[in-house]
Amino acid sequence: MDNSLENALYVVATPIGNLEDITLRALRILKNVDIIACEDTRNTSILLNKYEINTKLISYHKFSETEKSDFLLNYLKEGKSIALVSDAGTPLISDPGNILVQEVIKNNFKVISIPGASAIITLLSSTYRKDEDFKFIGFISRIKNQIIETISKNNNENLIFYESANRLLETLLIIQNEFPEKIVTIGRELTKKFEEIKTDNIQKIIEYYKTNTLKGEIVVFLHKSEIKELNLEYEIKKLKKLNFKDKEIANILSSLFEVNKNAVYKSAIEIKN
């Protein structure tokens, strides 16, 4: 069997917990590339030792991306092959690698993705959702107003993000205060021995984690909210009773319900208190 590899950068997905969740193709690539760039050589060594792979490792993390990208690019210029891995899951998905991939493409070398484990897809395939669409935003902000703004903008979308164990409750409490009817799925320690996936109303999720220890990697899935049918006349009359002007009513309702501002304004003029 010919194990020689093309002169390229191989972006290789690795297990997110269970070391058996790696493809045969990924193992072949990791065994036969000239060098493996990884976030932490200690973490990647655990995987390589399990499968008796002795390929040379080089540290490549978010604090060394620019410096190491130039070094790795020279490997490609010498006709060699490189694998890029993260500590867990698929590189570039909230993990280092973007600068390297950009430089490799800019210098006309190939980037070959070796698909595999992803915490996002693992969670989404373990619970229900109303529609196929979803939006992934990486790690959510730590700032209260930015959290509220993010959820508000995406309230009618299936929204998924990463959060740390020590911040999860704080983030959920901020969301609950503004969106008390939200349905939430929490994925914790996915694919590992103590994997836990819970779907419930946000209040019940908060109550559960107030009395249960939170550890490990966490993925949060906020289910999209139902879009309520708009009774335009009722909403306009309600705002008129609060002494809002027609233009203000148009701005408010178009923002809340994503309807045409001019159409609302025209209706507001015609409708009396």
Are 130 and 223 in contact, with CB atoms under 8 Å apart?
A: yes
User: Who's near 113: CB < 8 A, 6+ residues apart?
Assistant: 10, 11
Distance CA 64, CA 39 (A): 10
Which value, in Å, is the radius of gyration of the alpha carbons in the chain?
Answer: 24
Are 190 and 16 in contact, with CB atoms under 8 Å apart?
A: yes
Q: What is the pLDDT of residue 1?
A: 44
Token pair recorded at residue 99: 């600068």
Q: What is the pLDDT of residue 232?
A: 83
Distance CA 218, CA 123 (A): 10
Distance of CA 256 to the CA centre of its chain: 26
Q: What is the pLDDT of residue 152?
A: 87
User: Who's near 77: CB < 8 A, 6+ residues apart?
Assistant: 107
Q: What is the pLDDT of residue 228?
A: 59
User: Who's near 169: CB < 8 A, 6+ residues apart?
Assistant: 206, 209, 210, 214
Give, rounded to a whole angstrom, the gap between the first and last alpha carbons of the chain. 82
**Verdict on whether the full-model pTM lies above 0.75:** yes
- List the chain residues with pLDDT less than 70: 1-3, 227-229, 258, 273
Other beta carbons within 10 angstroms of residue 58's beta carbon come to: 15
Q: What is the DSSP letter of 272?
A: -
Distance CA 139, CA 147 (A): 11
Q: How many CA atoms lie within 13 A of 76 on its CB side?
A: 26
Other beta carbons within 10 angstroms of residue 145's beta carbon come to: 9
